Amino acid sequence: MHFEQFYLGCLAHASYMLASEGEAVVVDPQRDVEIYLQAAEKNRVSIRHIFETHLHADFVSGHRELASRTGARIYMGAQAEAAFPHVAVEDGFQLQVGKMRITALETPGHTPESMCFVITDEEKSPAPWAILTGDTLFLGDVGRPDLSKRYTPAQLAGMLYDSLHHKVLTLADEVLVYPAHGAGSLCGRNMRAERVSTIGTERLTNYALQINSREEFIKQLTSNLPARPAYFSQDAEINRTGATALSDLPALSPIEPAELKTLLAEGAIALDVRPGDQFAAGHVPGSVNIALSGQFASWAAALLGLSASPVLIADSQEAVVEARMRLARVGLEDSHGYLNGGIEAWQQAGLPLATLSQISVGALSDQLGVSDLQVLDVRREPEWEAGHIANALWWPLDNFKIAPPEIDHDIPIAVHCKGGYRSMIACSLLQRAGFQNVVNVIGGFDAWQQAKLPVVTEKPVEA
């Protein structure tokens, strides 16, 4: 049996290819499906089956395009009510692929239609070898239970407890666990960075599996959930109907500086994908910086929304293409185009650049208490509660989709996150909202702690 994991770091998403005797199965494919076609060609197998563990909410699946290009059948949980040709899978469904057997388990909880797939490699043993758990069981965590319109989080959490204890955890300790996401995904909150585990390891180390009662499990799973981006429900619906093939999306148009100036005056969004330091040194006034490093697409979708039609600003044509691909992976498909020639062309056209000041944690510490500089922490609540700078205001970056913090636009504001990625996004959004004196804290709270500067813990004081 051939087995391969594909890990997409920017979305913390894992997909899989399994094959036996020339026939291949792809599980939870990402939107750009060329990698699976290349892997199939390399291993001299034909993709005949595509399985989805559930209707993914944090990315757009490539199941329909992959099926169109290979002739493969798509298999989804019957509860998904998918609106395209597929095999509706229920508990106990089995598919024999060469000497490999796939057995479906209905495991509702993260979503009503969630499935897990038990893999048996009959060349080696009649006993299960691995389980592909989707978002039901992660390494160190379980799926969040608040992504359904039909069920309350408490109802889904109860289902998840039953699915885990009555189905998944009945497997032997040595069975390998391969989830659909890793650390950094918003589909859970406490995932480990490893890519594979075992049932036995999770039974002993996963906090959610240590909870003794169903009632306590429900209580803990529904408390302090991370913010749920608005685009999650939209992506799930896109996956229910099937996304447009990437090749069918219109090409991006080059936009000249004068045209971009006009578009910005009409309310368009300029999305600058360059590294934060380059953005700070000079950028188009009013542009939003979400660097291609980090979880670029997730933040773009969460903060701009899937209906946004941004003009991309990058330092190379390759970066424009990469940004467009990453945005499409989460369903943000429309775009005015890209700034032809980048920042250099903007400058050559005689148009002004804005800048963003930055400050070290040492200089920030020296100014606190002796100036009117206000600290704004844009990390998430668990990060804040674990420790923060005294007297800082708190407004997590997730909240910027709703509104910027209610702070005087004219007072100096030093913005920080954990390491600097989110704070640069926040600074650009504050500048766009009219804040006059914004400073980014270099290195964020990590640098503050490394400098052994004082930290306090208390309940959040929202800005």
Let me know: does 277 contact 301? Beta carbons within 8 Å.
no
User: Residue 369's pLDDT is what?
Assistant: 83
Q: If residue 37 lies in a helix (H) or strand (E), which one and from where to where?
A: helix 34-42
User: Residue 459's pLDDT is what?
Assistant: 64
- Which domains are seen in the chain, by residue range? 2-241 (3.60.15.10), 249-348 (3.40.250.10), 357-450 (3.40.250.10)
The answer to whether residue 111 scores a pLDDT higher than 90 is yes
Average the pLDDT over 200-217 and give the result.
96
With cut-offs at 50, 70 and 90, classify the pLDDT of residue 98: very high
Distance from C-alpha of 28 to C-alpha of 215, rounded to nearest angstrom: 31
The answer to whether residue 458 scores a pLDDT higher than 90 is no
User: Residue 463's pLDDT is what?
Assistant: 65
User: Residue 461's pLDDT is what?
Assistant: 58
Distance from C-alpha of 373 to C-alpha of 365, rounded to nearest angstrom: 10
Distance from C-alpha of 118 to C-alpha of 105, rounded to nearest angstrom: 8
> What are 299's two structure tokens?
């933040």
Alpha helices (H) along 206-359 = 214-221, 231-241, 257-265, 276-281, 296-304, 317-329, 342-348
Distance from C-alpha of 278 to C-alpha of 353, rounded to nearest angstrom: 12
Mean residue pLDDT across the chain: 95
